[in-house]
Chains A and B, each alone.
Chain A
Amino acid sequence: MRLFTLTRLVTAEGRRASGRLIGMAGGIAVGVALLLLLLGGYDGVTSRSERLSWPSLSHGESTELRDPAAAAPTDESVLAATNLEHFDGQEIIRVDIVATPDSTVVVPGVGRPPAAGTYHASPALIALIEANPTDTLGSRYGTRAGVIDTAGLAGPDSLVVVTGTTTENLRGPSVGMVGSVFLSGNVWSVTEFRGVSYPNSNYRALTIIGAIAILLPVLILVGIVTRLGAATRAERFAALRLIGATPRRVAAIAATEAGVTSLVGALTGVALAWLLIPVAALVEMEDGRFFRADLTVPPSTVLIVVAGVVAGCTAVAGWRTSRARIGPLGGSRERTERRPSALGVVPLIAGVVVLLGATTAALRHGPLPRTDQVLIAGFLLLLVGLIAAGPVLTYWISRVAARRAHRTAGVIAMNRIQQHPRATFRAVSGLVAAVFLVSFFSAGITTLAEEPPTEDSEYLSSSTLVAWFSPPPPDDANAVASNITAVAAAAARIARTDGVTATAIGSSHPETGAVFTAADAARVGLSNHDSASHIQVTGSAFGDGSLVTRPATAPGTTPRTLLVATDGTTHSVERARTAILGSELRLQSPTMTQADHESARSRTWADRYANLGHLAVLVATLISAVSLAVSSIAAILDRKRVLGLLRLMGMPVSTVRRVIVAEAALPLATVFALCVGLGILTAWFIVAGLTEGRRTINWLPPSYYLILATSLVLAATAVLATFRTARTSTTIEATRIG
């Protein structure tokens, strides 16, 4: 207890000291809160992905069926097929299950498989069904038998439906991807439904990078905050040493101080995290919002984090103090920093080499094992490398600048940086990391922007539904014939649906696409520039929904596609879609309008991470601005006596301000271009490396420059915020304390 009393006396007396401790505890609290949220988020992503990816069907105990018509469910297995459906631009995952009445198979979130003709839906979908007329949505599924509970859902916004059906009615499943759910395009026989934590290792790579992106600035902040007021504290410790305290005693006092402060900070952080969970649950990531429970960290983890942070802070403070070898003479003989060695740029270069190597290898030879891990390692090396190389580069540049400077502020600032390159760079290192990350994420997100459609492609009206059929086996003449009549009948029925203005059947073209008669084409709004008798339509079923029309001569016979034009209201479109889905047409892919394609395009996988990216950048920049303000103030406080005396000699306050600006601007300017360049390059490496070059990055969007400008403005604000301290702490009073 004597130690605690002593610590309190030595470190916690006075307003300035308590400000320092509050600052330290605050920084640690923010750090711990974010760490817990990140852990919760990481955990949440994993468990959620495990929970939600079961409709992929391939992860559990399941086998792919080559001939579903011949298969039958047993008590131990069900037949299942997953489809993607749309409603008003939203995507609905539909799992059709054929089960025996006594099936023992458990469907996640549902339990026993629903009986044929009934369905279980997620709460969000039920709300949607109830909010709309039955013939637009509800009648797609039959009668409701229950609700899917959270065990089978990604989050509160998931639109999932599990329907019971019969082997004959089991629809042809679609191919594609909804969030983390892969649609294989096959019917599966399933004995156990199971999800997977990471449907794709790319996801894990991106999640880890995102987490690091947020964590790094936090660590930098904690590093800065724990150094707060080190100069004044060193003087107190020196006084203690003078009156006979042993170096170990002093180290113990420093450690106790750090321990108690960090404990307070960590506990505050836990409370803060708890308060922030509802806010964090609003953040959409990957598959939408999280359940709050997903983000809650188990108490054991909280305990480990708190203990770890406290132990870490205590150990580092003790170690730092004993290493600083505070003598009885204290700070009067201020030791200058060791000159940073050129070795500091090695990790940076190594990082570039690793990324470059992994990406070229992936581009040349296809995916290598563990490419994702190598890319993460490269990314980390680069990030650490930037932080490590900063002081070296700053030192080099400040040496030149110190020689060139010709104004008072320049001379003072450049020499300061030259003597303390690490400390000055540390002040902006958070911002440096943020700029790197914002460049990285912004560049990575540009991968979203698909290539512009080819010139001669056109789009159907956004209210026209396109349904592609699976062609029947061409060698079975009977089947072909009955198919033609069936399609015609279905089309006729659909045409009678309320709100449908026209339908047109396109028949199979020998090469690709479908052929329409000129009359049909005109009714559904296909262009026919050359007034040909027939036109051939090719286009992307999964991509952007563009169609290419060209004159054709040979009309096909086998129906390939059905175009349904509507009057454009949401209800008409959905009513028509429900009619198509409810018909006996064997669809090959989801029935979509141009509007559906457009909203799907803005939901590609990279986009699902854009939120995380923006969040990371926001947090990183904000925290970095705080770090910058804190270190700028500390840098002035450490020199307040000298600066105060200089002001007493008549030096204007504006010079002190210019010193602050220069000390922040030089290290930032030094690595700014480097950060931007490396950030964009790294994004390219990672995007190209993970996709073997299928995707690449594009020009950065204007929003990037906006974010960049915002972070610079924040930095400027942080510096401006220190101006008051610059004025008040360098007055005559400052010179009296000696």
Chain B
Amino acid sequence: MNKVETISMSARAPENGSAPLLSARGLRLAFGLTEALRGIDLDCHAGEIIAVTGPSGSGKSTLLHVLAGVLVPDEGTVDYDTVRLTDLDEAGRSRLRLDKFGFVFQYGQLLPDLNAVDNVTIPLLLAGVKRREARRRADAWLDRLGLGECSRKLPGQLSGGQAQRVAIARALATKPTLLFTDEPTGSLDSLAAETVMLALTEAARDANTAVILTTHDPRTAAYADREVVVRDGQITIGGAYG
């Protein structure tokens, strides 16, 4: 803990002066001989939207997974609030992901057999919400994201953009404090991407949810408050100091 604090203090204080929500220091991770992460420092403050960009294979997805506690780094620490994520066991990390984090991926994340509302209710049910209440909240979220008419459709009957917004509804339904999204607009055209990103950022802002997203698309990255560029497993622009 101490080490993190000293480093944070040496960093330029964020505008609101508060401690970061998520703070990563010295992350290293190798898959065999491939060094996917080579010493990464990153802070994310409450409600902040960060875009992680960089060439393909530079380690963006890996970074996201490590930050979210899906992968465990070989070296370095990730702190969420007062919890040291990298010290938790798999069950603890799962619990944290379920309670505090939300996830949106590029495609194919909806259960094909469940209609839009039911898909959105899944994390709520996992969190112990009653089915009826979960459905009510899910419907409200879908309405908010302009999907009222699609709520009874199966994922196979939705367009990519609609499916992506359903995924956003699902990710935000549990009111996470931090939303991770990997290429949320990767398979969408400009307009669909814009709709999705607007929906995502507006909803996240309203809920004061911080977002860490990876993308190849500068226009998607432009929705973020700041950009972090990863090259060869290192941050070349952005980083811990904002």
Contact = CB atoms under 8 A, between A and B. Distances in A.
Contacts of B125: 406-408, 411
Contacts of B102: 649
Contact of B108 (A419, A420, A738): A738
7 contacts: A411-B125, A639-B112, A646-B111, A646-B122, A649-B171, A652-B94, A738-B108
A336 B156 contact: yes
Given A411-B122, A412-B114, A642-B109, A406 B103 contact: no
Nearest to A644: B109
A87 B94 CA distance: 74
Contacts of B122: 408, 411-412, 646, 651
B71 A650 contact: no
- Summarize A's interface: helix, strand, loop or mixed: helix
Contacts of B118: 411, 415
Interface residues of A, number: 31
Given A412-B122, A645-B109, A334 B156 contact: yes
B96 interface: yes
Given A406-B131, A411-B118, A418 B113 contact: yes
A416 B91 CA distance: 27
B97 A650 contact: yes
Nearest to B154: A336
Nearest to B99: A650
With a 10 A CB-CB cut-off, give which of B102, B111, B171 has the most chain A CB atoms: B111
Contact of A642 (B71, B98, B111, B156): B111
A416 B126 contact: no
A419 B109 contact: no
B130 A419 contact: no
Nearest to B111: A642
A407 B127 CA distance: 10
Interface in A315-345: 332-336
Contacts of A651: 94, 98, 122-123, 126
A715 to B, nearest CB: 23
B121 interface: yes
B97 A411 contact: no
B95 interface: yes
A100 to B, nearest CB: 83
B113 A416 contact: yes
B154 A732 contact: no
A655 interface: yes
A721 interface: no
A411 B121 contact: yes
A51 interface: no
Contacts of B123: 649-651
A3 interface: no
Contacts of A419: 112-113, 154
A118 B71 CA distance: 89
Contacts of A334: 112, 156
Which of B70, B71, B130 has the most A CB atoms < 10 Å from its CB? B70
Nearest to A732: B70
A261 B97 CA distance: 44
B94 A650 contact: yes
Given A412-B122, A649-B97, A332 B108 contact: yes
B101 A642 contact: no
A658 to B, nearest CB: 12
Interface string B160-174: 000000000001000
Interface string B114-137: 110010011101100011000000
A577 interface: no
B105 A411 contact: no
Interface string A17-44: 0000000000000000000000000000
B131 A650 contact: no
Given A407-B125, A411-B122, A650 B130 contact: no
A420 B98 CA distance: 28
B97 A648 contact: yes
A642 B115 CA distance: 14
B65 interface: yes
A90 B115 CA distance: 68
- Interface-centre pick from A415, A639, A647, A655 (highest chain B CB count, 10 A): A415
A411 B65 CA distance: 27
Nearest to A651: B126
Contacts of A407: 125
B110 interface: yes
B126 A655 contact: yes
Contacts of A735: 105
Interface of B: 65, 68, 70-71, 91, 94-99, 101-103, 105, 107-115, 118, 121-123, 125-126, 130-131, 154, 156, 171
Nearest to A405: B131
Sort A-B residue pairs by CB-CB distance and give the 8 closest, nearest first.
A650-B98, A650-B97, A406-B131, A419-B113, A408-B125, A416-B113, A415-B113, A415-B114
Nearest to A416: B113
A649 B103 contact: yes
Interface in A391-419: 405-408, 411-412, 415-416, 418-419
Given A650-B99, A732-B70, A420 B105 contact: no
A171 interface: no
A648 B126 CA distance: 13
B74 to A, nearest CB: 16
A120 interface: no
A655 B102 CA distance: 18
Nearest to B94: A650
A641 interface: yes
A647 B65 CA distance: 13
Contacts of A650: 94-99, 101, 123, 126
Interface in A195-213: none
Contacts of B111: 412, 415-416, 639, 642, 646
B108 A642 contact: yes
Contacts of A405: 131
Contacts of B131: 405-406, 411
A424 B72 CA distance: 37
Contacts of B130: 406
A655 B126 CA distance: 9
A652 to B, nearest CB: 6
Contact of A333 (B97, B110, B126, B156): B156
A345 B71 CA distance: 50
B114 A411 contact: yes
A420 B130 CA distance: 26
Nearest to B115: A415
B214 to A, nearest CB: 14
Contacts of A649: 97-98, 101-103, 123, 171
A410 B105 CA distance: 24
A415 B131 CA distance: 14
Contacts of A332: 107-108
A408 B110 CA distance: 14
B175 to A, nearest CB: 14
Nearest to B71: A732
B112 to A, nearest CB: 5
A735 B112 CA distance: 15
A645 B114 contact: no
A86 to B, nearest CB: 66
Interface string A643-667: 0011111111001000000000000
Nearest to B106: A738
Contacts of A645: 103, 105, 108-109
A405 B102 CA distance: 24
B98 A641 contact: no
A641 B97 CA distance: 18
Nearest to B69: A650
Nearest to A653: B94
Nearest to A641: B108
A412 to B, nearest CB: 6
Given A332-B108, A645-B103, A650-B97, 18 more contacts: A333-B156, A334-B112, A336-B156, A406-B130, A415-B111, A415-B118, A416-B111, A419-B112, A420-B113, A641-B108, A642-B111, A648-B97, A649-B98, A649-B171, A650-B94, A650-B98, A652-B94, A655-B126
